[in-house]
Structure 1
Amino acid sequence: MKTLLSSIRINSLKGYEQHEVYNVDNFPYEYFLFNEFTTFKKWKNKEMYEYYDIIATFDTENTSYYIAKEDRWNAFTYLWGFCIDGFLIVGRTYEQFTTFIKRLHNVLDLDHKRLIIYVHNLSYDFAFINRFMIELDPDFDIFAIDNRKVLTFNAYGIEFRCSYKLFNMSLAKACENEKGTRYRKAKGDLNYKKFRTPQGRWSGLTKKEWKYFILDLLALYDLIKCKLENEGRTLKNLPLTSTGFIRELMRVNCIGYGVKKKTPEQQDYIKLFKKLELTEDIYNMLQWNIAGGDTHGNRRYITMIMDNCDSGDLQSSYPAQMLLSEEYPISSYMLYGKVKNRKVFELLLKQYACLYYITFDYIKIKENNPYDCISLSKIVNLKDGAEIDNFDNGRLVSGSNITLCLNQLDYECIKRNYDFGKFQIGKMYIANKGPLPKPIRDTVLDLFRQKCQLKMDIKKFEKEHEGTKYKELPEYENLCYKYSKFKNLINACFGCMLTNPVRDKIVLKEDGTFVPVEADVATELTKYYKSRKSFLHYAWGSIVTSAARLALDDMRRACTGKNGIALYWDTDSCKGQNFDFESIAKYNEKIKQQCIKKNCLVNVDGKDFVIGEIELETYNNQYKKFVTLGAKKYAYVDNDGLHITVSGVKKKEGAKELGKIERFKEDFTFKSAGQTAKYNDDNIHYLDLKGERILTASNVALYDTTYTLNAPDNWMTFSLGGDLAFD
């Protein structure tokens, strides 16, 4: 076993390759010193920076260990490595790390230029390296999208970027999906429970362990390289996140960004966008209004194992609402006066896009209705006057003096599912409503059309090459890559629509903790509307979510018909018993007619593709048994065996540990649930551990954890008949 190595033999998809592996002392610095590399200039935070057009990656391996005396977990780095322009370098200590960074800084003149380095899951590695980088450059810059979720980190002329956010999937999955990649991430070769140190008795690594680490560096390097080639891009115009691709496409289509001569349609869009500028008051109301995907279990059937169940999905639910709904505000919101009565109020909802506060004197779920669609978190006066009588896993079952901020679609959803008497309308804004602007709809439809075409092309190719090893053919790989690309693009449309124009800044304090600094809404909105890049109206995202939740309610009713039972639903899917297939067919025909009317029915080789229709996942493989314990907690048995979905538990390992569906109940503990993280914010210091002196600093320890199943609050009351809806 070796603490360092000079070369390694790696198995790629194209055969065995021999790679030189350098250390801090023999790294070819002269290559970077004397070569003239391509650079590009880019504005960032109102400053112009010059970047190297060089692909580089970074990774660390770390040991987590338990300190019994202090009853806590700690961690330190025992191996780090870079792949820079194809050159591999590894080191074992942070003394070596800082030496290398300083030398790299000098040979690349990083006082005046920047080097981009990708890290898959930057947030993790950042926890280990940040103090060493900050010591080199106290004037660092960090862009975090949430607490400890780092997107970019700039220090000492190096810009670390998170490649996980770019691909939105694991490194292994990304390498499999990206066309032309030659490496696959090693799986299961590294025992993370093994105690390893940078130097000394515990530092030796086997060839298998070295290959695991080197493959990670090479695989990410190759992945970025292939991404640039496949997209026809350079590092200059490669987005930071996966949603950046669709945002760029929409931006060009809507406002002609980067195009000298804009079309009349783009000019009209720019005028409309300027008219729709949000005020601080409307923005704050939208924050109360906007809700995410609806994920819930039928409270009446929690823990009950149900036989012969089905599952259906709405095809491209969010994009479907972007094409089909005509409920979007297409003029600026105007403050409406006092609403006289319910008749006038409901007439306004039919005619306009509305945003308003409403207070229900008393409201309760309708009898025998499982869909409690009001989230407690969205009750404006939850801590100031609202009286909650009954709730169901974060949802309102009944209560008094309930104030909400709704749009016209939300009221329809509540009216369907709750009984209520008197209510008062507070502040109310109205706007003209209609479909989304044509450039947005055309973008979504074109993506859906190409996705459908590629789906048919793949099936046709498979049929024509049946009996051969067609999956190894480059033509097949290219089709699959394109299909995955357009599928990801259309799925990212919604994320693009709901991008918040006002975000708190996450600041890294001197003690290593992350602190959100609350943004000034008025200032940030002004910046947003002054930017030439801005083009999306935040209120449209609100309507997309509300329309999708209403469509989910429609789907649930269509699936269950007269005698069916909806057991579980999640954003765009429904699982239940006794599905009414005739009712589903009628629903799908209704959606098809809407698509025909809106000219968004896609036909490929005689086959119609209906966006927003219900597709039965269990058409040829019904669930023999199904059980749920609430949101993100369910299990089922089909022809392929037992499956589980539990947030935080690995699917395959969890199903194997569960063994049989009858064990999926409260108090069952998954012992191999995965890992949990313990962050330790600390200054640079030495550890004296097992006879070795280790330079370390802040870190994050990963250790095995268990997960015990539990049911939602109050479910027992509901199942025993205490629910107001089941009197």
Structure 2
Amino acid sequence: MGEIPTVSHKKVEYLNIESGFDIETTSTYIEGRKAAFSYIWMFGIGLGNEIYYGRTWEEFRALYTLLVTYFGLGSDKRLVIYVHNLAYEFQFMRKYFEWEEVFSIKERKPIRALTVDGVEFRDSYILSGMSLATVANNLTKHKVAKLEGDLDYSLPRHQKTELTAAEMAYCNNDIEIILAYIREQLDECNITEIPMTNTGRVRQYVKSRCFTEINKETGEEFRNPRDYQAIMKKLTLTPDVYKMAKRAFIGGFTHSNPEHSMKVMENVSSVDLTSSYPTVMIAEEYPMGSPVQLMLDSLEDFRKASAKYCIMLDVAFVGLRNKIGYESYISESKAVKLEGAEIVNGRVYSADLLTMTLVDVDLEIISAVYEWDELHWENVWAFKKYYLPKAIIQSILALYQDKTTLKDVKGREVDYLRSKGMLNSIYGMCVTDIVKDDHIYDDVEGWGIEETDVKESIQDYNRSKSRFLYYPWGIWVTAYARRNLWSAILAVGNDYIYSDTDSIKMLNYDKHVGYVEQYNADIQEKLRRCMQYYKLDESLLNPKTIKGVEKPLGVWDFEGNYSRFKTVGAKRYLVEENGKLKLTVAGLSKQNGINYMKEVCDNDNTAVFEMFTDELYIPAENTGKLTHTYLDDADTFMFTDLHGETVEVHSESAVHMEPAEFNLSITDLYIDFINRYVRPNK
């Protein structure tokens, strides 16, 4: 193998080389109980030329011991092994090793697991944010195509089952992809600098910019965190305000107009906001001071105060009624108290009483959608508002610039993919929860939760000198983005059909071009004001592609027309574009779902649209959807493979997977709402 380079980090030496691990498994039923086990493992080290196989965990333990001995691994020297979806493999192997530390983002979701012998397993799926097939497609230097269909998972296999050359090639292929992907990461940095998560990459990038200054005379960059730390020192929270902010957080808005639901609509246009979250992070003003309490006597007072402050408050609506009819804004799940409510597909249409926590931007939208008999508020907290720090603005601009200018540029594929991924993740780092319970793993007890002391965590957060973000920023990012989306919903009126975070589908697009043009002019003016405030080059808002086409940030971009469109609720729609059908249904594979429907309908598109109803059912063998069951107890049993050979199988712990059927399952409440309010005479 030759000498392997190493790199030191925090007094620990790491082998600076790519390495990957994968298993293939069988799920079955034994005497009516679920059982599962692995029948082959693959381990790779080095770029595609050192791949080892074994059929049992005892054999992998032997290789593991050899690796520890050969490389001299231990508390001060480590080998990092990447696994694509570590949570799955960990459940099979966790009892075969002694663990020093397991870092998990939630129960049974480890992304890093370190053994006492210095072998550190990391999750390449969490790092990439992509399936293995997508990772393969995005490789730039070391091309490896993802093999499909060469390993039929439904066939019963065990550790003695002979695998065909095609099946072995499939097993080999998965490791080659992991190795190639990590090799491309190592071409850019060393093993200790590869982040644990995709969001971690953008955190490193932005934090570095925040803590770096440029010498005005020489133009050289130098590390100087003091100025930025002074900004952060002013941005503190109390436990109560943090809890309010948690309640006030709302994600993207996804919904459908009940008037047009469950009907086939023709000539439907789609428009999309260009980089919606990055746009509002530049264009809008955010909490830039610690919260203070306000006393407000009227809505007029509220509106005056919101010109200077970002405001968060607890509200109670009495006699809440929808006044536009075709869409509802408030999510049922965000209500703290809800009485006498009419619900439309998860959204509150009306209520005798509704209490919730919201921010000023939400109240602005709610005022446009609803009317009420009484409005009461308390716990009004206000933050002075200004633009986000200049370093963050510059980070967003740089990433958008690279995403636009580097696309399709030969030799810059890695830089393009990195900038695109980081731009998409830049908002996510703002809403990372600052108070999280620890999901711990113990070799004896298994999984458990260690509750975090909120007061202590907030104190640590306020005092942190490495902090470069403020949790309330993320609350307003999504609020501003929803307001932009809702500007279109309100302007389009009943021609609006469907929305999803940063896009809407509508009828009669030509009638609404005026709104689109005015919105685009307004958002570009907002963006320019921020650039002028920070004395930044305004041309950065309009980078050009390699072909010289300008891509202005933040505008509504016309995506095209669908000849037919049908929605049956949020995250449930079918489109026909240029004769091709595309299906989007939460919880269902797009390709598997449409393939089954086309087969049943003899490739008749009209019949497929007729089939797409609230009664849609897809059999388990056609969904591509799997149900997971964690098996924590050891099991030993006799098992017969596809060739009729029976052997004894032992499993310490496992994950049982089986195909799951799919039912569209629209709620009776939604159908009842449509029948009573939308189409009462039909």
TM-score normalised by L of structure 2: 0.89
Contact 2:362–2:479, Cα closer than 8 Å, also in 1: yes
Contact 2:212–2:223, Cα closer than 8 Å, also in 1: no
Correspondence for 2:671 among 716, 721, 725? 716
Contact 1:359–1:404, Cα closer than 8 Å, also in 2: yes
In the alignment, the residues of structure 2 paired with residue 583 and residue 725 of structure 1 have an alpha-carbon distance, to the nearest angstrom, of 32
Identify which range, 240-249 or 580-589, moves more after superposition: 580-589
Correspondence for 2:485 among 530, 547, 552? 552
Deviation at 1:695, TM superposition (A): 2.5
> Which residue in 1 is equivalent to 2:276?
317
Can you list the C-alpha shifts for 1:338-385, whole angstroms capped at 9, x where unaligned? 432332223222321111111112212113231x221122112x3xxx
Contact 2:233–2:463, Cα closer than 8 Å, also in 1: no
Identify which range, 654-663 or 604-613, moves more after superposition: 604-613
Identify which range, 668-677 or 290-299, moves more after superposition: 668-677
Identify which range, 521-530 or 442-451, moves more after superposition: 521-530
Aligned-partner residue type, residue 94 of structure 2 = N
In the alignment, the residues of structure 2 paired with residue 606 and residue 694 of structure 1 have an alpha-carbon distance, to the nearest angstrom, of 62
Contact 1:566–1:575, Cα closer than 8 Å, also in 2: yes
Q: Does 1:275 align with 2:208?
A: no
Contact 2:284–2:526, Cα closer than 8 Å, also in 1: no
Can you list the C-alpha shifts for 1:554-583, whole angstroms capped at 9, x where unaligned? 13234x2x6x52211111011122222232
In the alignment, the residues of structure 2 paired with residue 153 and residue 312 of structure 1 have an alpha-carbon distance, to the nearest angstrom, of 44
> Which residue in 1 is equivalent to 2:609?
661
1:515–1:532 CA distance, 2 compared to 1 (3 A): same
SS in 2 for 1:586: helix
Can you list the C-alpha shifts for 1:598-643, whole angstroms capped at 9, x where unaligned? 335324387543211111111xxx2111111112111011104111
Aligned-partner residue type, residue 390 of structure 1 = E
Structure 1 residues 485-504: aligned runs within 5 Å: 485-504=418-437
Contact 1:568–1:576, Cα closer than 8 Å, also in 2: yes
Correspondence for 1:680 among 598, 608, 630? 630
The CA RMSD measured in Å over matched residues stands at: 2.5
> Which residue in 2 is equivalent to 1:184?
145
Matched pairs, number: 645
Identify which range, 545-554 or 98-107, moves more after superposition: 98-107
Correspondence for 2:195 among 239, 242, 245? 239
SS in 2 for 1:238: coil
Deviation at 1:106, TM superposition (A): 2.7
Can you list the C-alpha shifts for 1:270-312, whole angstroms capped at 9, x where unaligned? 2111110211111111110011111112223221111111111
In the alignment, the residues of structure 2 paired with residue 172 and residue 379 of structure 1 have an alpha-carbon distance, to the nearest angstrom, of 40
SS in 1 for 2:591: helix
Return 5+ residue gaps in structure 1 as ranges: 1-30, 459-474
SS in 1 for 2:348: strand
Structure 1 residues 620-699: aligned runs within 5 Å: 622-659=561-598, 660-671=608-619, 672-690=622-640, 691-699=646-654
In the alignment, the residues of structure 2 paired with residue 696 and residue 535 of structure 1 have an alpha-carbon distance, to the nearest angstrom, of 46
Can you list the C-alpha shifts for 1:669-716, whole angstroms capped at 9, x where unaligned? 122111323323334443322331123121112221211123244222
Aligned-partner residue type, residue 482 of structure 1 = D
Q: Does 1:610 align with 2:552?
A: yes
Contact 1:73–1:678, Cα closer than 8 Å, also in 2: no
1:153–1:317 CA distance, 2 compared to 1 (3 A): same
Correspondence for 2:457 among 508, 524, 536? 524
Q: Does 1:213 align with 2:171?
A: yes
Aligned-partner residue type, residue 105 of structure 2 = I
1:418–1:725 CA distance, 2 compared to 1 (3 A): farther
> Which residue in 2 is equivalent to 1:364?
321
> Which residue in 1 is equivalent to 2:206?
250
In the alignment, the residues of structure 2 paired with residue 529 and residue 343 of structure 1 have an alpha-carbon distance, to the nearest angstrom, of 34
In the alignment, the residues of structure 2 paired with residue 91 and residue 603 of structure 1 have an alpha-carbon distance, to the nearest angstrom, of 52
Return 5+ residue gaps in structure 2 as ranges: 532-537, 599-607, 641-645
Aligned-partner residue type, residue 165 of structure 1 = I
In the alignment, the residues of structure 2 paired with residue 717 and residue 280 of structure 1 have an alpha-carbon distance, to the nearest angstrom, of 42
SS in 2 for 1:609: coil
Deviation at 1:411, TM superposition (A): 0.9
Q: Does 1:702 align with 2:657?
A: yes
In the alignment, the residues of structure 2 paired with residue 536 and residue 503 of structure 1 have an alpha-carbon distance, to the nearest angstrom, of 16
Identity across the alignment (%) = 30
In the alignment, the residues of structure 1 paired with residue 593 and residue 345 of structure 2 have an alpha-carbon distance, to the nearest angstrom, of 24
SS in 2 for 1:54: coil
Can you list the C-alpha shifts for 1:23-46, whole angstroms capped at 9, x where unaligned? xxxxxxxx6xxx664333334xxx
1:719–1:685 CA distance, 2 compared to 1 (3 A): closer
In the alignment, the residues of structure 1 paired with residue 223 and residue 466 of structure 2 have an alpha-carbon distance, to the nearest angstrom, of 18
Correspondence for 1:576 among 481, 487, 506? 506
In the alignment, the residues of structure 2 paired with residue 701 and residue 577 of structure 1 have an alpha-carbon distance, to the nearest angstrom, of 46
Correspondence for 2:364 among 391, 412, 425? 412
> Which residue in 2 is equivalent to 1:284?
243
Contact 2:562–2:576, Cα closer than 8 Å, also in 1: yes
Correspondence for 1:294 among 253, 277, 280? 253
> Which residue in 2 is equivalent to 1:198?
159
> Which residue in 1 is equivalent to 2:124?
163
In the alignment, the residues of structure 2 paired with residue 532 and residue 83 of structure 1 have an alpha-carbon distance, to the nearest angstrom, of 40
1:160–1:286 CA distance, 2 compared to 1 (3 A): same
Deviation at 1:509, TM superposition (A): 5.5
In the alignment, the residues of structure 1 paired with residue 417 and residue 585 of structure 2 have an alpha-carbon distance, to the nearest angstrom, of 26
Deviation at 1:396, TM superposition (A): 1.2
Aligned-partner residue type, residue 453 of structure 1 = T
> Which residue in 2 is equivalent to 1:352?
309
SS in 2 for 1:714: helix
In the alignment, the residues of structure 1 paired with residue 319 and residue 504 of structure 2 have an alpha-carbon distance, to the nearest angstrom, of 29
1:417–1:373 CA distance, 2 compared to 1 (3 A): same
In the alignment, the residues of structure 2 paired with residue 246 and residue 193 of structure 1 have an alpha-carbon distance, to the nearest angstrom, of 40
In the alignment, the residues of structure 2 paired with residue 443 and residue 496 of structure 1 have an alpha-carbon distance, to the nearest angstrom, of 13
1:41–1:480 CA distance, 2 compared to 1 (3 A): closer
Deviation at 1:492, TM superposition (A): 1.0
> Which residue in 2 is equivalent to 1:334?
292
Aligned-partner residue type, residue 190 of structure 2 = T
Q: Does 1:124 align with 2:88?
A: yes
In the alignment, the residues of structure 1 paired with residue 394 and residue 661 of structure 2 have an alpha-carbon distance, to the nearest angstrom, of 48
1:440–1:487 CA distance, 2 compared to 1 (3 A): same
In the alignment, the residues of structure 2 paired with residue 110 and residue 257 of structure 1 have an alpha-carbon distance, to the nearest angstrom, of 40
Correspondence for 1:89 among 52, 64, 78? 52
1:710–1:513 CA distance, 2 compared to 1 (3 A): farther
SS in 2 for 1:301: coil
Can you list the C-alpha shifts for 1:75-105, whole angstroms capped at 9, x where unaligned? 1110001112352211101221222222322
Identify which range, 72-81 or 545-554, moves more after superposition: 72-81
1:345–1:391 CA distance, 2 compared to 1 (3 A): same
In the alignment, the residues of structure 1 paired with residue 485 and residue 444 of structure 2 have an alpha-carbon distance, to the nearest angstrom, of 46
In the alignment, the residues of structure 1 paired with residue 352 and residue 443 of structure 2 have an alpha-carbon distance, to the nearest angstrom, of 47
Correspondence for 1:50 among 10, 13, 17? 13
In the alignment, the residues of structure 2 paired with residue 515 and residue 394 of structure 1 have an alpha-carbon distance, to the nearest angstrom, of 32
Question: Which aligned runs of 4 or more in structure 1 are off by greater than 6 angstroms?
Answer: 261-265, 723-726
In the alignment, the residues of structure 1 paired with residue 79 and residue 223 of structure 2 have an alpha-carbon distance, to the nearest angstrom, of 41
Q: Does 1:432 align with 2:432?
A: no
1:125–1:510 CA distance, 2 compared to 1 (3 A): same
Deviation at 1:50, TM superposition (A): 3.1
Contact 1:367–1:725, Cα closer than 8 Å, also in 2: no
Deviation at 1:644, TM superposition (A): 0.3
Contact 2:211–2:223, Cα closer than 8 Å, also in 1: no
> Which residue in 2 is equivalent to 1:565?
495
Q: Does 1:153 align with 2:113?
A: yes
